[in-house]
Amino acid sequence: MDISIVVPLYNEEESLPELIEWIDKVCTANQYQYEVIMVNDGSSDSSWEVVQDLAQQYPAVKGISFRRNYGKAAALNEGFQAAQGEVVITMDADLQDSPDEIPELRRMIVEDGFDLVSGWKKKRHDPITKTIPTKLYNWATRKMSGIYLHDMNCGLKSYRNAVVKSVEVYGDMHRYIPVMAKQAGFNRIGEKVVQHQARKYGVTKFGLERFINGFLDLLTITFITRFGKKPMHFFGTVGTLFFFLGGIITFWLLVSKAYSIYIGDPNRLVAENPLFFIALTMMIIGVQLFLAGFLAELISRSSPDRNKYEVAETLRLNLDAKSIG
């Protein structure tokens, strides 16, 4: 199969028939063998009934329905598991992503050799209250992840099938699939300017809280990708630093007190100096962080995925043994 198109949806009953008709028109014109996997994320309207009707009209349409709303990440993860196409393309169901981008997104994977291509909505039809925070979010993500995409959160992306089978998307981590893909060894990440359609039906499902959650998720994914299999490198380093600084301050206080006694200069008790409590607190925090790292290492080593690595290719050579003599 050439293409799997994964469409997560939540209360998009009005836009679905037009979206499927548009996708079918593009894929038929390009003679693609394709499937559209529509994942209903617990919609409260008649979206699922519309999907069922569309499946009767279009053999390529497949559907997955959640009993309740789990979020876009869960919908994408289920769609990824079901996808069979050589190239997997994701797009939103609200018609703001144009299916006309499908041929070029596929070509960049198949011909240009990219593992992942992310859309860049260079010209957006969104209010300034959404565009400004989005630019700040993308700037912070680029700095922390080292992946220089202009629009990390764009729903219109294309992937090599191996990529979507190698990442597990959960929580709100759908924003950081490129980061997870890079961590899994898929380093050929490209970008394409795509058309951003003005919303035709309904209202946006995301509020301002997504930017706060997005920043927290960025911290999470940054930590996991860097220290997920070696937590002691983080906790141990920070803990040792705190303990070392606390120890230096304590040593300086003790030397200062000893010198005061030596020269016969009356001085207050070490415990009366605020630096003593700062040093004590730093040393306690240091020990706690070190123990946290030690426990995290034990948990990590007990994980069934501790030695899970993505193997790109396996080449087996059977060499016949030859006797000499």
User: For 12-67, what is each residue's pLDDT tens digit?
Assistant: 999 999 999 999 999 999 999 999 999 999 999 999 999 999 999 999 999 999 99
Q: In b/e form, how buried is each residue of 271-291, taking b as 16+ CB within 10 angstroms?
A: eebeebeebeebbeebeebbe
Same domain for 126 and 179?
yes
Nearest 5°: the CA angle 177, 125, 151 is 25
Residue 117 above 50 pLDDT?
yes
211 lies in the same domain as 163: yes
CA distance 35 to 20: 11
C-beta neighbour count of 299 within 10 angstroms: 11
pLDDT at 104: 96
Q: Is the pLDDT of residue 210 over 80?
A: no
Residue 309 domain flag: no
**CATH code (residue 215):** 3.90.550.10
Asked whether the predicted pLDDT for residue 242 surpasses 50, the reply is: yes
Domain check: are 284 and 181 in the same one? no
Domain assignment of residue 161, yes or no: yes
Is pLDDT above 80 for 79?
Answer: yes
Residues 272 and 216 reside in one and the same domain:
no
DSSP strands (E only) in the chain:
3-9, 34-40, 61-65, 87-90, 116-120, 157-160, 189-193
222 part of a folded domain: yes
Tell me the residue length of the chain: 325
Tell whether 245 and 221 lie within a shared domain. no
| pLDDT tens-place string over residues 274-304 | 888 899 999 999 999 888 888 877 776 665 5
Q: What is the pLDDT of residue 184?
A: 83
Which phi and psi (to 5°) does residue 93 adopt?
A: -90, 0
CA distance 288 to 254: 24
Q: Are residues 293 and 165 in the same domain?
A: no
C-alpha 271/C-alpha 276 separation (Å) is: 6
Share of the chain above pLDDT 90, in %: 43
Among 129-138, 142-151, 285-294, top mean pLDDT goes to: 285-294
Residue type, 30: N
Say yes or no: 134 and 52 in one domain.
Answer: yes
Residues 72 and 87 in one domain: yes
Domain count of the fold of the chain:
2
| Nearest CA-CA partner of 65 in 48, 81, 90, 82 | 48
Summarize pLDDT for 90-113 with one digit per residue, the tens.
Answer: 999 988 899 999 999 999 999 999
- 35 and 151 co-located in one domain: yes
pLDDT of residue 209: 59
Helices 47-57 and 16-29 cross at an angle (nearest 10°) of 30
Characterize the bridge pairing of strands 157-160 and 116-120.
Answer: antiparallel
Most confident of 27-31, 165-169, 311-315: 27-31
Least confident stretch, 97-101, 183-187, 246-250? 183-187
**What's the whole-number mean pLDDT along residues 108-119?**
95
Report d(CA 162, CA 164) in Å as an integer: 6
- Residue 9's pLDDT band (cuts 50, 70, 90): very high
Tokens 């030397």 belong to 255
Q: Is the model's pLDDT at 199 over the cut of 80?
A: no
The distance in angstroms from the start CA to the end CA of the chain is 54
The yes-or-no verdict on residue 145 having pLDDT over 60 is: yes
> Among 227, 249, 269, where does a domain finish?
227
Q: Does 130 fall in a domain?
A: yes
Residue 141's pLDDT band, with cuts at 50, 70 and 90, is confident
**Which of 2-6, 125-129, 256-260, 290-294 is predicted most confidently?**
2-6
Q: Using the predicted structure, report yes or no on whether residue 322 has a pLDDT greater than 50.
A: no
Q: Tell me what pLDDT residue 323 has.
A: 37
* Boundaries of domain holding 265: 231-302
Does 133 lie in the same domain as 26?
Answer: yes
Residue after which a domain boundary falls, among 176, 210, 227: 227
Backbone phi, then psi, for 42, in 5-degree steps? 65, 40
Say yes or no: 221 and 289 in one domain.
no
Looking at the structure, tell me whether residues 213 and 266 fall in a common domain. no
In a domain? residue 7:
yes
Q: How far apart are the C-alpha atoms of 101 and 92, rounded to whole Å?
A: 13
Q: Rounded to an integer, what distance in angstroms lies between the CA atom of residue 183 and that of residue 157?
A: 18
Alpha carbon distance 323, 325 (integer Å): 7
- Note whether residue 223 is domain-resident: yes
Tell me, yes or no, whether 312 lies in a domain: no
* Strand order from edge to edge, sheet including 34-40: 61-65, 34-40, 3-9, 87-90, 157-160, 116-120, 189-193
pLDDT surpasses 60 at 80:
yes
Structural domain contains residue 81: yes
pLDDT at 307: 47
